[in-house]
Chains A and B, each alone.
Chain A
Amino acid sequence: MLNSLLVSWRNVTRHKKRFFFTLVAIVLGVAVMTSMFIAKDTFSNLMDEQERLYAGDADFWVQSNEGYFAENELEWLNKKEEVEEGAALLVQKGFLEMETELPQQASVRFTGVSDYNNDLIELPVKEGDVAKEGLIITENAAILLGKEVGDSVSFLNMGTLEITAIVHEGAMLTSPKTLDAALFRDFQVMVPLDTLQKWTDMENQISNFRFNVNQVTDEEEVLKTYQSELAGSNLFVQPIVVDSQQHNDVEGVYYVFDLIAILSIFISAFIAFNMVHTSIIERKREIAIMKSLGYTSGNVIRLVVREIGFLAVIGTIFGLGIGLMLGIYVQDILITAITSQNIIYDVVIIEPLIISGIVGILFPFLAAIVPLYKAGKIPILEAMFEKNTTYSSLNKLNIVRVLLGIICTGIGLIDNVWAFLLLFVGLVLLFPLWMRVIQNIIGAILTFFFGFSGKQALRSIKQFERRNASTAAMLAIGVSLALFMSAALASLPEGMEEEIRETFGGDIIVEKETPWTDSDLDVAKGIEGVSGVNPFIEVPNVTWNTKSGDLREFSIMSFTDLNSADTFELVNESKENSEFPSLYVGERALMEWGGSVGDVLSLNTPAGEQRFYVKGSVQTSHYSNYVAFMEESNIRSELNWPHNFHLMIDVDDEDTISNVLFVLWNSFGETIIGANPITVNIEQSTSALEGMDELMQGLLLLIIAISAIGISNTLFMNTMERVKEIGTMRAIGFTKRQVQFMIMAEGLFIGIAGVLVGTVYGILVIYLNSISADAGGLLSFIIPWISLLIAIAGGILFTLLASWLPSNSASRISIKEAINYE
């Protein structure tokens, strides 16, 4: 019996090398995509997990605008039936008993917890028992201090406690890994609430109270009820929200990952398209015969679909396997680059694998739609009796294609992310034109180096112009994006630094547990090098609903005068006014919310639920632009937030910052929650990017490598279709070496064309981004010389490697067989 699968398998493996290379391209494409999805999902899962751990099982928390409040103020809450479990927390500062160069290196942030045995606080246990009352420290602290479970730790002027558990770094507790890092970060530890209250003379005082309500209760109802219960008091209730966006602007990273995934799959798809297309053109006659024997178009399409199915399934299976490994590796690099401490995380596999699997199986079919359609439409007679099926390509540029290319390029120049993609569509469409141009320029060089072989190579370049052009176009896209990424990575830190400097609003932000009093301010003002102090308000944990109904959280920062506000830049402002207080919202938050300037936004504030008029959108470096600003007087009058816990300090000279910090810690050390100098801010924002530099370059080299496989494949096809011609050349005196040179020259030409055009487009893209208003001036026009060199060298090196195999097999074409080849 005629086994259709067997026949399809025979067809698809007829040209073994072509099959192999196409398969490799699909495997790599799927692998890169899978790894990107794994990295992305794992990372986003990690973020959510961290938040979830922080929130624990708690639904709400009660805080005070004073910072602390008495436990008994919540007695009414404990009587409520719907409240299932509650935990009181007290956050306090202290110091380790430890010799350090600077006092802040030993600073500890205590979290006192009323009940260790609850579900509201989850800790990732490493050793010991977290339910046992005692001291809980993190892994980093344990290593840095050289302590184990059962050891005791002493705190300055407080007391000593035995370590009952060591946990992994997490949202609830983290500690610096080194003493250098300890300069700006506290050791976070957990202790029993009553112990902490005793140590800090805060009897009966707590910072917040977390609780959850039973399943049957409507949470919105509870919030409303409790808000009205607490109205007019210093206390306020908020839902606990999982929203990491104020701390990480990871969308940019996700965007890059998506871009790389799309790009790799795009290039693979193109290679698959190339193969299927060529294979169908080659088999025109066979297909026509089948039709003459009774195959309908449907039968033909099914036949080819089975063939693609083999490619898709095998490629995807291997691709997923390799992608899994690559993903775990990429993920590891990413976490190390972005988070500065060891965090345990679960690699998210299932969903990325499913998505990649589906895409991997589908995209070869999508790539083959046009060839499939063509296959079905092959006319019997022409195909069966046509003498030259492969030499039909015209040597004329397709005018429609060029025109379309120019139009796409034109649209691509418009300042918009999506229009941007059209620039690359234009690149592909215009590539034959660029090939012509380059032929004229480097044709002479190629001829000079390879002699007659070079000349011959140029001719065959023309012969398969469309395929060669598309192959080179893929390389060009890879190269230009590599350049753009490098430029972006090189200039983003610069852009970020610039932005931080423009919108930080001073030099050091100091947050204290207690409000800044006038005398405090005098002390601060008196520190040598300090040129000015400005207390400001930051209302934390303001929650709201996005238009699609998800709970989100951000902070509201104060400003005194819109015209002189230096913590943000106004992007858009409504001319209208409203009865509601005006709010200026950071663009990222605005986008997340889904509304726009001029709309009314409802927020859960310390004063309960309130409505605000979004007067303007702003750009700021604070909280990665996921924040809102309000006039100070408005905050005081509307938000039930009377105190300034934050202070902005200006210094004469950035060099004096460390001195100022030293004095600050000495003066207010016990109450300082954090001191955040602009310099550290800049360093932290930019170092993550720099850590990703190598990762990106590696991935982009991978994309260039996939493009190179495309070159191999194309050359294999070109030679396959010219077996007879090459055989004749050999017969009339071309040496093997000359044939080899000829194919290498072809490959080299494709490579050079790809690299050249890629470089030009890369620089164009960098330039367009530098003048783009959309990119917010984050990118400046720089040419990344090193990456340029890597891209050029890598492109040409990979091309040479990619050309070597086909050239070798071409030179081995047997004269006799070639001449008899049909």
Chain B
Amino acid sequence: MINVVGLKKDYKTGKEVVPILKGVDLTIEEGEFVCIIGPSGSGKTTLLHLLGGLDTPTSGIISLNGSELTSKKEKERTLIRRKEIGLVFQNYQLLPTLTVYENIIFPLHADGRKASHEDVQQLLEAVDLVGYEKRFPHELSGGQQQRVAMARALIHKPKLLLADEPTGNLDRQRSSDILDLLAKFHHEQKQTIVMVTHDMFAAGYADRIILFKDGVIEAEVKREDDDYAKFLARFMA
């Protein structure tokens, strides 16, 4: 599904060049639920943005389903994102002038497609927002907003869902809801999920956990591995 080779990303602040990603190699299988954890500034979010084609790397290659993303122009990347990728962000990033319904169908609209009413209804039920279609984002709670964002990320049935700290702004209960939703969708639709988080409780949902530190993959562990917890403890300590 995803193949990352020698990925590097530098940021320029004034005259200084700060390397954020220092060479990342990574393969993610189709249908895998991967969680990327690591301290802030370790480059995990940057990796997610690169995977989503929101940014271009300084060097290195990202392939999605065998086609190279990194060599494409912004417009082409946008078109890929439109069709294949769903995005969820920490601060929801809903469009304030659109209603819940309009927010959800926006990716289809961007792609020039019409939304099937059943699809939207199904999603609304799944995220427990039936009856909220006409509300505007500012009329919703944080958890509800993130659920709208989830629905929006999934309306176009993307093969890849990228979630950047989806529970970062929420309390335990609400983040549990979101994670449950994520688990449910993953179980039912088997899309590939890459989630960036620093929340242990979120990490527990993944099949594989990748630890980022200082712009490189420090370690990774699979659910079935024995040293799973030890590995996590090292990161937490």
Contacts and interface: CB of A to CB of B under 8 A. Distances in A.
Direct contact of A and B (CB under 8 A): yes
Interface of A: 1-2, 4, 7, 10-11, 14, 285-286, 289-297, 299, 380-381, 384
B110 interface: yes
A292 B52 contact: yes
Contacts of B95: 286, 289-290
A290 B106 contact: yes
B146 to A, nearest CB: 14
Given A293-B110, A294-B81, A294-B82, A2 B97 contact: no
A289 B74 CA distance: 15
Contacts of B152: 293
A291 B55 CA distance: 12
A771 B102 CA distance: 64
Contacts of A286: 95-97
Contacts of B102: 2, 7
A286 B102 CA distance: 14
Scoring A2, A4, A285 by chain B CB atoms within 10 A of each residue's CB, the highest score goes to A2
Contacts of B74: 297
Contacts of A11: 97
A294 B79 contact: yes
Interface SS of chain A: helix, strand, loop or mixed? helix
Given A292-B54, A296-B79, A380-B54, A14 B97 contact: yes
A289 B93 contact: yes
Contacts of A381: 49, 54-55
24 contacts: A2-B109, A7-B98, A7-B102, A10-B97, A286-B95, A286-B97, A289-B94, A290-B95, A291-B78, A292-B52, A292-B54, A292-B81, A293-B106, A293-B107, A293-B110, A294-B78, A294-B79, A294-B110, A294-B111, A295-B110, A296-B78, A380-B55, A381-B55, A384-B93
Contacts of B109: 2, 4
Contacts of B106: 2, 290, 293
B82 A297 contact: no
A734 B230 CA distance: 56
B110 A1 contact: no
B75 interface: yes
Contact of B78 (A2, A14, A295): A295
B87 interface: yes
Contacts of A295: 78, 110
Given A290-B95, A380-B54, A297 B110 contact: no
A290 B54 contact: no
A285 B78 CA distance: 17
Nearest to A384: B93
Chain B interface: which size bin? 20 to 34
Contacts of A292: 52, 54, 81, 87, 93
Contacts of B52: 292
Contacts of A291: 78
Interface string B96-114: 1110001001110111001
A11 B105 CA distance: 18
A293 B115 CA distance: 15
A14 B55 CA distance: 30
A501 B55 CA distance: 76
A286 B96 CA distance: 8
Contacts of A289: 93-95
A290 B103 CA distance: 10
A296 B75 contact: yes
Nearest to B102: A2
B31 to A, nearest CB: 23
A289 B97 CA distance: 12
Nearest to B52: A292
A384 B90 CA distance: 11
B87 A293 contact: yes
Sorted nearest first, the 4 A-B pairs with minimum C-beta distance are A294-B82, A294-B110, A2-B109, A289-B93
Contacts of A384: 89, 93
A10 B96 CA distance: 10
A286 B83 CA distance: 20
A292 B94 CA distance: 11
A294 B74 CA distance: 11
A10 B55 CA distance: 30
A297 B152 CA distance: 20
B105 A2 contact: yes
Contacts of A285: 93
Contacts of B111: 294
A769 to B, nearest CB: 49
A7 B97 contact: yes
A290 B94 CA distance: 9
A87 B10 CA distance: 92
A289 B92 CA distance: 10
Scoring A11, A293, A297, A384 by chain B CB atoms within 10 A of each residue's CB, the highest score goes to A293
B18 to A, nearest CB: 15
B115 A1 contact: yes
A816 B143 CA distance: 22
B124 to A, nearest CB: 15
A2 B89 CA distance: 22
A301 to B, nearest CB: 13
Contacts of A10: 97
A296 B78 CA distance: 6
B4 to A, nearest CB: 18
Contacts of A293: 81-82, 87, 106-107, 110, 152
A377 B93 CA distance: 19
Nearest to B81: A294
A293 B82 CA distance: 6
A295 B110 CA distance: 5
A7 B110 CA distance: 13
A291 B106 CA distance: 11
A11 B95 CA distance: 11
B206 to A, nearest CB: 23
A296 B83 CA distance: 13
Contacts of B93: 285, 289, 292, 384
